[in-house]
Amino acid sequence: MPNEIQPAAPDAHDRYAIVVAQWNQSVTGVLLEGAVATLRAAGVADDHIDVAWVPGSWELPLVAQRFAEGGEHAAVICLGVVVRGETSHDQHINRGVSLAFSQISLQFDIPVLFGVLTCESMEQAVDRAGGAHGHKGQECAEAALHMVGLLKNLPGA
């Protein structure tokens, strides 16, 4: 039977950072509420959750990197909404932001969660922020808790 590594239980001492885009705040605010509620339900105290608002999704990686390089946080949750418009602008934002998140995560050995909704319409965004297609804010916080716990139990941790 193989040795299956399970995540450690959430630790009350772990801090979490959340970076949120102000653009489309009617949706990103809901994503933030879901992420915070999920962390609280896992026992993370409010004073262990740091939230930083940035103008838009393009600005998320820089602040995520600052949180990651600071070494005080167990994970960084990034929340935003990019809605497709009449041009290819959304594709450039989505590509750059997603590549930056993966680079930050690997460079600083910290989970950086991709909670940027990449949608065709605002209706799709609303559906993914507690509507018909789940809640991406909650999902990102759950993934952050899982990854933090898993990294603690991996060999060499």
Active-site annotation, residues: 89
Phi then psi for 146, rounded to 5 degrees?
Answer: -60, -50
d(Cα 6, Cα 96) in Å, to the nearest integer?
A: 32
